[in-house]
Amino acid sequence: MTLSWGDLRRNTTILLDGEVWRVVEYNHRKAPHAAPTMTLRLKNLRTGKVLEKTMNAKINLTAAPTELRACQYLYRDGDSLVFMDNETFEQFPVTQESAGDAVNYLVEGAQCGVRLYQGEPVVIEMPTTVVLTIKQTEPSFRGDTQAGNTKPAVTDTGLRLNVPFFVNEGQKIKIDTRTGDYVERAE
């Protein structure tokens, strides 16, 4: 399957020079009086090497033949994360390096997608938002209600982010996994 620049997304897996790469970041640029270019920041899924490549945006890329499985995150085992396939109930480890940013959003029992390439897990796909608990933040005081002001906080997974002043320790919040930003309080 071929991909144009419009089909690219974060965590898309592509074949380039005979290797499997994951798109970490991408940028399409169209300068006046010049051909459009595409700058890709890629991570090799076998070696972990990161590469930045600029190419003509009219070139089509080849999508890596991957399979997406619905899984549940079970627990952390040393440097590995253990997942269970929701259909076969098979358990398998994924290295934290392969999991990437998903490590910041995984709590026991979390549902996610695991993308496999030739039977090997290569990318963890998280839902758009997740609910995490605030583990540490400064206490709120009366009068801290000015719109737009935030304070630093740490979630139960270790994710550091800024939250509004009215959010306190122990509260559950919704976080956008694409940006790592606070969305709203959760029930």
Per-residue pLDDT tens over the stretch 42-78? 888 777 788 898 888 777 888 888 888 999 999 998 8
Verify that 13 and 44 share a domain, yes or no: yes
Residue 134: the pLDDT is: 92
Cβ atoms of 166 and 150 closer than 8 Å: no
What is the tally of structural domains in the chain?
3
Signed CA dihedral, 155, 157, 162, 164: sign only:
negative
Verify that 80 and 133 share a domain, yes or no: no
Exposed, middle or buried by CB within 10 Å (0-12, 13-18, 19+), for 43?
buried
Verify that 118 and 136 share a domain, yes or no: no
Distance separating alpha carbons of residues 106 and 127, to the nearest angstrom: 11
Residue 81: the pLDDT is: 92
Residue 142: the pLDDT is: 59
Torsions phi, psi of 100, nearest 5?
A: 65, -135
Among 19, 41, 63, where does a domain finish?
Answer: 63
Cβ atoms of 104 and 73 closer than 8 Å: no
pTM: 0.73
- Name the residue range of residue 9's domain: 2-63
CA 59 to each of CA 35, 56, 180: distance values in angstroms, whole numbers, following the listed order: 11, 6, 31
pLDDT tens-place string over residues 107-133? 999 999 998 888 888 888 889 899 999
Verify that 83 and 106 share a domain, yes or no: yes
12: domain CATH number is 2.30.30.30
Which of 56-60, 117-121, 140-144, 153-157 is least confident?
A: 140-144
Q: Bridge-partner residues for 184, per DSSP?
A: 174
